[in-house]
Structure 1
């Protein structure tokens, strides 16, 4: 709790600093020459960052992203431990996961009814597998897939001057994803049983999503920083809610040519524990059914590139790629370790 409190205190100071900068620049004269420009390969953030930019009045943008994320091996706190550490007789659990690859397809659209306001909507489709090992040495796999929660948001631009921009995002995550995913396990065969929390597709709650993004551009470089939070409200129909999420993302990009940029990104974040519990889950059966094994603090780093068509028939088409790895993760209880994350995406503005 002390670590989470420190994390939140840092985020509050960070947001105050952004607004202090905004008050100094808000009334600066806006001209085409001194505005932040999206018409560069680094005019958008690394492809893994959402809500990083706004659009001018009347502009549309459509996007597709593919993300692959893998979780493998176990952490107890911040230490890597063997699977036997989580199983009887060393612990109370009969089963532990060993690996969980996840794939996500994301479709998004943005439209700017004015120079100050940009509207955004995003839908996604997820598919996950989780491999397990039992205390008796048996193995099995469960699977889940489906459409996830739908996100809508409004982005408001405070200013764009001196090649700097500050904008805020206010949105809501709509619980369109399932929280009742089921599959067959050795203990339930031939019947299906409800799957644990990480294998569910949605949150089951209406979740506000807030973000504040600052951008700065030079001739060959650009910088961005974003504070973001997802707040879980109430409890879902299965008597629990997922943990709130908090993150600070920072990225630096090099404009190599008019059509190519390279980026480096650093993220610091925290996820609260799950509150409540699904009464259909036995928390002593598998570690993922025990809410004590949820929530964490973490740091990630990513490297990527953007390709941008600045002229010709494909003008304003952008291809982005990023590969990210965790550099720190301190988990509540015992959980699967986060491993590599790959994100590939297309964005087309008109």
Structure 2
């Protein structure tokens, strides 16, 4: 944890003292290994006029055991209130994106994703079972606008929307419903079912062998979906610092603060007394996550502008509403190619 704290304080100090009004330094550049943020950060950079970029990311998130507030909780504790509790939930996400810049100050972005999840459960009687869900999620479309790029610093804003193409009616067979399928609880749904607004502001700075960035993002949900609920708003503050080891390799540290609101409304097909994941009181919370990773950039040759990124992240602090699965590790890797 000390490494993450040191990295963020160093980033903040450099960002403060890097303010230079003489405009004698070159513009911020993406043409270096630390020219992009750590791979989990979306919408972190822009492109020059006429430039395209295609990307693929794979993310694995593992949730295991329980937390009540900021404390660890036992399965027996949860089973005193509910008939069923989950014990673990691995999730796999594949993300494919495209970016195009019609001008130097505007970049357009679209992203598609495919999710695959399973959740292990234990019942009050000691039985176990697994439910699964998979499918294409919501489509994300965004526009990015650059406010300035000078003195090795740049800032841009993002306005995006989420198109509710993902399912909110995923179903599977449980011991209580066999042989019929029953609708799965909120964490096992693929989409949001609502048109969501995505706003972000990103600041980037560079030195000769290092770079840093700060991104403030909010996801705002309006109305209700077909199941009479909506997921909570999400607010995140991402901070990262990277060191350029060579012309093709950089290492990064990232610190993220995340606030997730409670689910509003209630799906009439779910019984909140049955399992903790069907109770909207067990949703949302406050999280602090830290990540370490690297970026590889090919600066010349036939594969010029091809990138590879990797990061492993874990929670440094979790304070959940009610009782929820505990987040463990998150692995993200991906590749990006621009031309």
Shorter-chain TM-score tier: over 0.9
Q: Residues 28 and 161 of structure 1 are in contact (CA less than 8 Å); yes or no, is this contact kept in structure 2?
A: no
RMSD: 1.4
Match of 1:148 among 133, 137, 140: 137
Q: Which residue of 2 aligns with 1:127?
A: 116
Q: Which residue of 2 aligns with 1:11?
A: none
Match of 2:65 among 41, 48, 73: 73
Q: Which residue of 2 aligns with 1:85?
A: 77
Mapped to 2, the partners of 1:335 and 1:40 lie a distance apart of: 41
Per-residue deviation, residues 5-53 of structure 1 (Å, max 9, x unmatched): xxxxxxxxxxxx9xxx9xx88x975x8x610010000000000000000
* Paired residues for 1:172-191 under 5 Å: 172-191=161-180
Mapped to 2, the partners of 1:316 and 1:63 lie a distance apart of: 12
Q: Which residue of 2 aligns with 1:37?
A: 29
* Paired residues for 1:7-26 under 5 Å: none
Mapped to 2, the partners of 1:229 and 1:323 lie a distance apart of: 23
Mapped to 2, the partners of 1:297 and 1:81 lie a distance apart of: 17
**What is the count of residue pairs matched by the alignment?**
323
Per-residue deviation, residues 243-269 of structure 1 (Å, max 9, x unmatched): 000000000000000000000000001
Q: What SS class does the counterpart of residue 103 from structure 2 fall into?
A: coil
Q: Which runs of 5+ in 1 are unaligned?
A: 1-16
Q: What SS class does the counterpart of residue 309 from structure 2 fall into?
A: strand
Mapped to 2, the partners of 1:42 and 1:175 lie a distance apart of: 33
Per-residue deviation, residues 217-275 of structure 1 (Å, max 9, x unmatched): 00011000000010011000000000000000000000000000000000001000000
Q: Which residue of 2 aligns with 1:251?
A: 240
Q: Which residue of 2 aligns with 1:274?
A: 263
Mapped to 2, the partners of 1:250 and 1:343 lie a distance apart of: 17
Q: CA offset at residue 81 of structure 1?
A: 1.0
Matched, 1:63 2:52: no
Match of 1:325 among 314, 321, 326: 314
Matched, 1:46 2:38: yes
Q: What SS class does the counterpart of residue 187 from structure 2 fall into?
A: helix
Q: What SS class does the counterpart of residue 175 from structure 2 fall into?
A: coil
Task: Give the TM-score, by structure 2 length.
Answer: 0.94
Q: Residues 264 and 304 of structure 1 are in contact (CA less than 8 Å); yes or no, is this contact kept in structure 2?
A: yes
Q: Which runs of 5+ in 2 are unaligned?
A: 1-11
Mapped to 1, the partners of 2:168 and 2:258 lie a distance apart of: 24
Q: CA offset at residue 123 of structure 1?
A: 0.2
Match of 1:110 among 99, 105, 109: 99
